[in-house]
A and B are shown apart, each in its own frame.
Chain A
Amino acid sequence: MGVDSPAEQAQILLRTRLCNPNFIYTIFSDSPDSNYSKLKYIMSSSVTEACNNSALLLGPRGCGKVAILEMVIKDLLQEYPDTICVIKLNGLLHSEDNCALKEIARQLCIENQLVFSKMASFDDNSQFVIAMLRECGLAHKTIIFVLDEFDLFTQGKQRLLYSLLDAMQSVTSQAVVVGVSCRLDADQLLEKRVRSRFSHRKLLFLPPSQEDLQKILQHALLLPTESSLPPQYVAAYNKKLLNTLSDDKFKDIIDSLCNFDATFNHLLRFLFASVSHMDTKSGILSLDNFKTSLSSIQRQPKLEALQDCTILELYILVCLRRLEGKEQETTNFNSVMKEYKDVHNSFQTSDYYARNVCLRAFEHLLQRQLISLVDNRGHSQSLEFRPVKLLISSHELHQGLKAYRSCPAILHKLLGLAV
């Protein structure tokens, strides 16, 4: 297996880089006013000055909040070995108080080589955690609590947050609570008693700027000169890549990507798809790779679903749209069938099928999620009577019909009449 072509090796290297957030975000560790530096300052001061601290990292999904935090923690662990203990919780997993406390106790036990009891009650665990906080405080050991998906911890009675933040009010403990959330109003979700114990440090994470974007592109995609890869190949690859990156067409691609979603994560997925499509024969990342990956990343699922529809399903959609155009309050399968019949009677279409066949087509449309049931109540009603609504606009339907390969002209006409 060691005889992979250099192109394949390069591909593996690039993919490993893109999937490793620690690598991608290292470029932000130098600048002094970056979130990395600020966060590091907050956390290291709490380690060196033996004080309690809390902070919230806010920003849209995929802007590297957790990655930066991990980098800071990694650095701190190197700088101050044996004085830091990290407890990681995730709102998706531990939003329930009981479960969260158990997990804290478990991680504390692992960190301190203690035996964890699965049978311990909420009370036992909570006493254990408070005792551990005191012990660690006395030993000048900082406990860092990382609460990912912080907003989910605020559901319910917030007992966990309260007991954590309350324990930090005492002078003996030495802990940092870092909440990470994609909800910018996460601190408003806190109860009064919790909010008053929370230090309102908030760090905002934003999508990358133009310069950052360029930096990341080069940082992620350029191959290293000192590696096992043959130097000629690396030189050729890098030269071609820099050419591509400065190309105007490439800039257009990046612009359209960022218009859609400008977060780091989206960019990384785009780069991942581009690298995946790299031609392993030439081993060069070309503009075409970026183009194909852009079209495969930016999908329009509703239009695709329209292209997948059969003629009969299109008829049903158009009939439903016509009914909505008539401003009827509710529509269901029966009223669609009535419209379908009327259309057939007045235009003598060739596609007139039996009711049960239409019902099956109707079910296909429900499955494709082009239409949906208005409410999920009334399960006792059979499908024909349950009200439905279109999930696409008439504009989308129009566009879809235009793009359809062999769309009957009558459908355009029917839709045109409706609009």
Chain B
Amino acid sequence: MGDEGNPQTTRRTTRASLSSTPNPKSSKGKLKSCNLLPLTIHDLAYGDESISFNDLISSLPGRRAQIIELLHLLGPLDSPMFPVFVYGGASTGKTSSILQTFKYLKRPFVYCSCITCYNPRILFESVLNQLLLHRRNESNRYSSTKRCERPSDFVNLLQEALHNVVDSLKGNVEKSSSKKSVGRASGKMVYLVFDNLELAREWDKSSNILPFLFKLYDILKMPEVGLIFLSNASPDTYYSDTGYVEPVPVYFPDYTEDELRQILMKNQKNPKLYSSFLEVVLRPFCRVTRQVDELLTAFSSLYQIYCEPLDDLGIVPNEDMKRKLFSHLQPHIGPSLNETFKVESRLSSEASANTNKCKGIAKKVGVSESSNEIDFHMSACAKYLLICAFLASRNPATLDASMFDSTGGSNNKKRKRSSEKSKEKKEIAEQELLLKGPGTFPLERLLAIFQCIVSVSECLPDEEAQGDGGLEGESWTNGLLSDVLLELSSLCNANFISKGGSCPLEGANRYRSMVSEAMALKVAKSLKFPLAKYLYRGG
């Protein structure tokens, strides 16, 4: 139960998905009926089912201390509170803890995430929609109740909305005091939860949105309102010009290894087997990352490998078996530690079966094919463009003429030798390259190099047939050139080439290649193009 996934969805669906985790079927029906009925004041709180304190603690392993601190700060029913600032790294269960805590307390709250509400206007309108019990749907053409762009309008509307909500909550309390009803919002406090606040820092540099949100409590002057901010950045990263009123901090540390074990053990079909698996993999992986989402993706494929020798997945492994499984898994741990993401889909596993066959053939040829394959399709033209862009970014523009003269770069043997003379010079150049990164180039240069390379690569395979192949090659290159610009724009869109700002003197756009050398070499290899020959190596 990390906080991943939850922030992206709106509050309603967040709640639906949260409540659906135990039994998805029943909540589906509820969701449907919920869509039909008009919203009432009780929809501001989780009404359907109640959870006990023990459920709350056990649903979020390793967060006991934090939940208790939150409960302390939220205080007993109807007690005012200072704004609270909850922070901690990514995937530490901040959102889940808050939402579950409110489910346990059954108090009315409004949840807004700065991911979905990606600018002030949407954030303001989202808060107001929820408070005014407004649901955007077809009949109102998915519009908000109030249009509100400025903080000043927001404060006025918010005050009005909050007064209404608080009044009706007070009315509720008086009514329900006679007969106790289940599934009602309790108390007369309303809580506003702002999630992913760190994103609001980048909204608009000039706007005062963050100081405004931090000061909202003082501006509203309503003791019935509690503010909770969630952020994965610590409070010290929020300092602005004249500072702000600091909220009470609550810190969610990253999970420790033991806590991670508890979390990963949740909902496992065969706990014994999985715990023996975790004993093997968890420790090395914790040295690299302790984020639940990343560990889960890494472990899902590893666990499959771990279980491969087993016929019966329900087996309780003994020591002997464990040793056997471990020796089976061990060669896979190292490589998967060095992978960032590998989401196993059915399609790719089939494909990998196919490549396994191919590999057998390729190995005979003597090239380790696996590292030289590009794992996506690209037209030949796009590949050439990619190489050209790479060259244009790597080589200094002054050397273009000598690189791509009529002899097709054959004279760079001489230069190569001379570059070997001064080794330290080369090193410095390499260092510079590491720091500076690829350079930029105008479109004309790219097209010129493209023209040269395409003509050269036409001639290259059979240099003897240069004379008669010329005309044919010409027509082919013309065909290629026709949609070069189209290919270029799609390469830009795929972020292989980035389109930078325009040069102040020339006015034209400048481009930059974003691919690594290894990648460029791979692409060149697939075209049988001698890229290394054209690379300027400093000196």
Contact = CB atoms under 8 A, between A and B. Distances in A.
B29 interface: no
Contact of A357 (B243, B338, B431): B338
B512 A301 contact: no
A62 B218 CA distance: 11
B288 A1 contact: no
A94 to B, nearest CB: 6
Interface string A327-346: 00011101100100000000
Interface stretch (A163-171, A195-203, A223-231, A270-278): A270-278
Given A277-B72, A308-B253, A382 B437 contact: yes
B219 interface: yes
B233 interface: yes
B232 A269 contact: no
A269 B82 contact: yes
Contacts of B177: 1-2
A361 B72 CA distance: 35
Nearest to B434: A334
Nearest to A66: B218
A12 B498 contact: no
Interface residues of A, number: 73
A16 B79 contact: yes
Contacts of A90: 215, 219
A151 B88 CA distance: 33
Given A353-B337, A354-B338, A368-B89, A385 B437 contact: yes
Contacts of B212: 92-93
A353 B215 CA distance: 45
Contact of B81 (A19, A103, A308): A19
Contacts of A212: none
Contacts of A299: 234-235, 249, 251
A45 interface: no
A12 B223 contact: no
Nearest to B501: A380
B435 A335 contact: yes
Contacts of B383: none
Interface string A79-92: 00000000000101
A92 B76 contact: no
Contact of B223 (A20, A265, A359, A381): A20
B435 A364 contact: no
Interface in B484-525: 498-501, 512, 514
B286 interface: yes
Nearest to A381: B437
Given A61-B245, A269-B246, A273-B248, A304 B288 contact: no
B278 interface: no
A61 B250 CA distance: 21
A92 B79 contact: no
Interface hub of B218, B235, B340 (most chain A Cβ within 10 A): B340
A418 B75 CA distance: 49
Interface in A156-202: 182-183
B289 interface: yes
A94 B150 CA distance: 9
A11 B75 contact: yes
A268 B75 CA distance: 16
Given A12-B78, A20-B223, A92-B215, A311 B242 contact: no
Interface in B418-465: 431, 434-438, 440
Nearest to B92: A308
Contacts of B78: 12
Interface string B155-168: 11000000000000
A220 interface: no
A19 B80 contact: yes
Contact of B76 (A8, A66, A95, A386): A8
A272 B72 CA distance: 10
Contact of A308 (B75, B223, B254, B339): B254
A58 to B, nearest CB: 12
A310 interface: yes
In the complex, the 4 A-B pairs of residues with the closest C-beta atoms, listed nearest first: A385-B437, A301-B234, A354-B338, A334-B434
12 contacts: A11-B76, A16-B79, A265-B245, A265-B246, A296-B250, A310-B290, A330-B435, A334-B437, A338-B431, A357-B288, A357-B337, A361-B288
